[in-house]
Amino acid sequence: MVILKIYSYPTGFSVCSSFDDESDEDLFKGLSGWLDTDFPGIIAIMLPDGRIMARAVNRDGNFTEVTSVSVVGPDMNEEIPEYKMRTAQTFGKGTTEKLSSLSIGFVGVSGTGIPVVEQLHRLSVGE
């Protein structure tokens, strides 16, 4: 088992910065002591066009390019409206569809209720 750190640059920047290099090196040098492997982690960048670029990091903090990345599962961009995309990317299409089919009633929307109702709306709960 290894740790996967994945992030994105929404503008499409497809190369790790020197800050990324330093922080990833420090992170995985520290984590390697907890894991019994020569390659404690993979760092991946998800690009706006769906490509994913990755590199492995060894226990000394040295990077090796990952030449092939396969994404298993359904295409997250298929028939999901823009306003539901973030929920689908986080929880998957099935959960997003289930949330959209729910109807939830509230009695008394005050201190705690207001942020709960707002979050349910942001998760695209049906009604």
pLDDT tens for residues 1-40?
A: 678 888 887 776 767 778 888 888 888 877 777 777 777 7
Percentage of residues of the chain with pLDDT beyond 70: 91
Q: How far is it, in rounded angstroms, from Cα 33 to Cα 24?
A: 15
pLDDT of residue 113: 83
pLDDT of residue 72: 66
pLDDT tier at 74, thresholds 50, 70, 90: low
Mean pLDDT of all residues belonging to the chain:
80
pLDDT of residue 39: 73
Nearest to 60 by CA among 43, 44, 42, 39: 39
3-class secondary-structure state, position 110: coil
Q: Report pTM.
A: 0.51
Q: pLDDT at residue 73 above 70?
A: no
pLDDT tier at 78, thresholds 50, 70, 90: low
- 50-89: string of b/e by CB count within 10 Å (b at 16+)? eeeebbbbbbebeeeeeeeeeeeeeeeeeebeeebeebbe
| Average pLDDT for 87-92 | 81
pLDDT of residue 93: 80
